[in-house]
Chains A and B, each alone.
Chain A
Amino acid sequence: AQSVAQPEDQVNVAEGNPLTVKCTYSVSGNPYLFWYVQYPNRGLQFLLKYITGDNLVKGSYGFEAEFNKSQTSFHLKKPSALVSDSALYFCAVRDALRGAGKSTFGDGTTLTVKP
């Protein structure tokens, strides 16, 4: 079985400050990891993914995430937050070999960036 935990329901940061949205995962095999962002009443937009290779992954809009195998984490980061980054963020995991190609999503973290 595979699972994802986003321990924070809500993250608040001031504009210009660094932000981190946390994600930990559990899979039997090797993980494929994803981050998505959702704006109100919209579908999910892909931000970045880790499949293999470099543990630090860079994605859209200046976001990056670091795959940490020993801590089973894939935290999303950005050096300087913008008010427009305020949205709902989802982490997802898929077992590279098992799971029938289905991704499991975390419950989401609402990021609020204040001016």
Chain B
Amino acid sequence: GAVVSQHPSRVICKSGTSVKIECRSLDFQATTMFWYRQFPKKSLMLMATSNEGSKATYEQGVEKDKFLINHASLTLSTLTVTSAHPEDSSFYICSARERENYNEQFFGPGTRLTVL
């Protein structure tokens, strides 16, 4: 099946710094990418949806200036957590969908962010 990678898998940073997480589709062109945040109690929260070459659509309550999403190519999307604070610590998961296979989403392995 299609493979989605995320980098880094874990990151620890100081409060106030910015962190960039990359999401890549390795063997298909991802016309749409989704960014999720998973809380300790398990639930998956959709943060934003990005289509290649256009601005991301953020879900209600998600700060677009805080969580910058760029989908510059059909194989790469990035999530930048700006001026990170301890409450931003979480597990961030991306997923990707290709135009020809609209019904399936392929998930990355996730990135564990810890803000000290």
Contact = CB atoms under 8 A, between A and B. Distances in A.
Contact of B110 (A36, A42, A51): A42
Q: Report the contact-size class of chain B (Cβ under 8 Å from the partner).
A: 20 to 34
Interface stretch (B11-19, B62-70, B75-83, B98-106): B98-106
Interface string B87-114: 0000101010100001111111110100
Nearest to B51: A101
A51 B1 CA distance: 18
Contacts of B112: 41
Given A41-B112, A90-B44, A46 B1 contact: yes
Interface in B15-42: 32, 34, 41-42
Q: How large is the interface on A (under 10, 10 to 19, 20 to 34, 35 or more residues)?
A: 20 to 34
Query: Which of A36, A45, A90, A105 has its CB near the most chain B CB atoms (within 10 A)?
Result: A105
B95 A100 contact: no
B43 A105 contact: yes
B115 interface: no
B50 interface: no
Contacts, number: 50
A56 interface: no
B49 A102 contact: yes
Contact of A43 (B49, B103, B109): B109
A107 interface: yes
Query: Which of B102, B106, B107 is the most central at the interface, judged by chain A CB atoms within 10 Å of its CB?
Result: B107
Contact of B42 (A42, A100, A102, A108): A108
Contacts of B32: 101
21 contacts: A34-B105, A41-B91, A41-B112, A42-B109, A43-B95, A43-B107, A43-B109, A44-B44, A44-B93, A44-B107, A46-B1, A46-B106, A49-B103, A51-B103, A100-B49, A101-B32, A101-B97, A101-B102, A102-B34, A105-B44, A110-B42
Interface of B: 1, 4, 6, 32, 34, 41-44, 46, 49, 57, 91, 93, 95, 97, 102-110, 112
